[in-house]
Amino acid sequence: MKIIVGLGNPGEKYKFTRHNIGFLVADEIYEQYAQTTWINKFGGLYCKCLFENEKFLIFKPETFMNRSGLAVRSITSFFKTNVSQLIVIHDDLDLSIGQIKVKSSGGHAGHNGLKSIHQIFGDQYLRVRIGIGRPEHQTEVSSYVLSNFSPSQMKQMNTHKKAFLTGMASLLTGNLRCFMNSFT
């Protein structure tokens, strides 16, 4: 069974920050496809979902970003999920606001959540990169990713989250080209 992991930090303080776009997308998937309520287990929140006869899990690690890999290992071990069935949704500074790209392997680009997952699973898992852009001024990256989206940016992100949901079938079946075409 596939597990879609939305990366973010727990707590109201971080809810609408750029670094939490993985959680925000996971919440959208939950609203559309959840078959259960959120279950607090494995160091995070998960639920069972169904989309066009495809069962999958959504997982939001509550270990804070730099320890995400530990929680992901816990849930994948319990459900005996192979790393090839793992899909991680995360923020990406190198993409413009709302831009979405898929990556099936490679480095972590300094992202602490991915770094934690890499330490446990290596780099051979699917990532959905969601652009948060770079700060206009030479603001420190950590303060930028932990700041909230502006209202106009949030509106833009909401549009892209809807497109993401439209491409869900392609993502779950592994048709990544079709998934990416959902955004063009």
- DSSP assignments along 119-131, one per residue: HHH-S-SEEEEEE
Give residue 172's Cα distance to chain centre. Answer: 14
| Kind and range of the H or E run holding 87 | strand 86-92
Rounded to an integer, what distance in angstroms lies between the CA atom of residue 184 and that of residue 177? Answer: 11
Catalytic residues: 19
- DSSP assignments along 2-69, one per residue: EEEEE----SGGGTTBGGGHHHHHHHHHHHHHBSS--EEETTEEEEEEEETTEEEEEEEE-S-GGGHH
Give residue 89's Cα distance to chain centre. Answer: 2
